[in-house]
Structure 1
């Protein structure tokens, strides 16, 4: 009879993959991962832009991003890391917020500088910002490939004895004597001592089976592609444009990747969809303000999916109080990739008793009325 594993991770995107990998390093042959499709799944990981940057709206997220950066830098090509440099475009209205962020980052050892319009042209001659804007520049940052990263973590975990179940959908929990001892799936029951839910918006539906409500909603997200000349792409930074409310990065060798401007929540579109003409036009109008030479004929299509969001725009991570062995890591509000390794590390520290407290992003903040607030307030981030 096979021994009951210590951990069952539900969800094979980059968050679940990271957690499974780091747990398997400390607890070899004791981790199971189930994914209802084929890793890296069909949720946010498959759609993510893979931005790697440290600038954020809360100091703990800066710390987590910086810790995760060390991992991405170390594994390099295995996760598709490209050090393009990262820029956050901010209106000068938020100058005081920029000062707070830059000071904290510098004190943390993160290379960062603030560039004006003239200085930006030295780093990216094609990017146009206004006289009333800054670009907060991180020279060591960039982007990576989320799907490649998730598969890297899973394959490394397999070397540590990870058992992977593909095409395995979790439908309910198995409860015995008031404790969760496993899950019911389409292939039969799976038992484990601890269960960690990383299944994006599907986690909300699953928790309803045990009368646990989480404030999670889905949001339509999408990408638009533009053809570009290789010389343009080569000099392109990875950018979050807080003024315009979008982001963009190069896709080597000759495309530009732009976040679609869309605000639709709790949508019922298919998991994978295509952008409509209005979304394409709106996004093109935005990006042409930054790159005046771009033509409509350069539009090269796009795709639509979703991610899960929380009311305070911060993730839900940690133990669920109702059951001592039930954990959650979801609701990353479009920003899970950049902190995925740090999330994996936290679970290891918790289960090895290095970290005895629940995660600061735990779900109890909503029931206690202590929702998180931003340390740094920008327009859209």
Structure 2
């Protein structure tokens, strides 16, 4: 049965929220002020029709919008979309009693995303490759994707060929694809085993197609060229399936804020360093100690630092900072810190930073809620929050990055 709703505001995941006597109802692809009809199931509803559209509504860019499960907000005009994303950061800070200058959001342009995760399986009529439909196991095949770099989208047929050569049977594969400076890097997940015949076929095809590397769950199948990216003046070999910021433009914006804030620091600790996004840029001016739990990432950082001329000393330590954070005593030898943890944040590590005498701190986060929690710990211990800059690198989604800069009073 269809019900009429008036949308009050957008929720944190980008769904329209209608207030009802029985509680809020979340309706995807709607906007504040709209009157809609939707089929309700408990506290969620599926949009049927927009009766009175909002002035914020825009024509979606992609034919798959609303079905593929990727984008949530293509139906919102750019100005309001960017304002809403910035407000996610503002609201998270206010919820912790933090009042700091929040800059305008660093925007994300279409066709800039350099990494993607596809789902795929074989069918009687060929390979089905695309994204998972929201709250479903259904794979929506894609014929366009305006968020991706052409370097990825234009090679979808090659990615499908890799799937067919793997002969996954009934298994659903998860393909992590990264556009590097030396070609596509493809890591296959979800496959229980790969026979020698399939391995050789993939290797032959990947070599002929000019792919940089194909791996399976981190094990290299073929690597005609090292997949390389550049962090500042350093060239880094990306580990199979390794983390990389989604867009080069967002990475550059984050790095500019971090390096600018820590420019006068003699010794810097880069915590949750990955493969060196910040460490290798900071090392142009500062001695850097990089700490990361992933062995392949920290090894890539170490190799790059040793082969890049002109850098100050860079030391690399493999360490799980969630279980064994750097203590306040260990941090006392640094005058600058940058940390960029996973979505859960860095609460245990931040408590040690708060006890330290480190003068300058740059906090990078992909989760405004955990960022606000971590910042509240620091501001409660004589740190002044100087600025927060929201950065969009997941276009038309509810995800937003932020860089916060702090100084010890």
**Shared fold (TM-score greater than 0.5)?**
no
Larger % of strand: which? 2
Larger of the two Rg values belongs to structure: 2
Larger % of helix: which? 1
TM-score by length of structure 2 reads 0.23
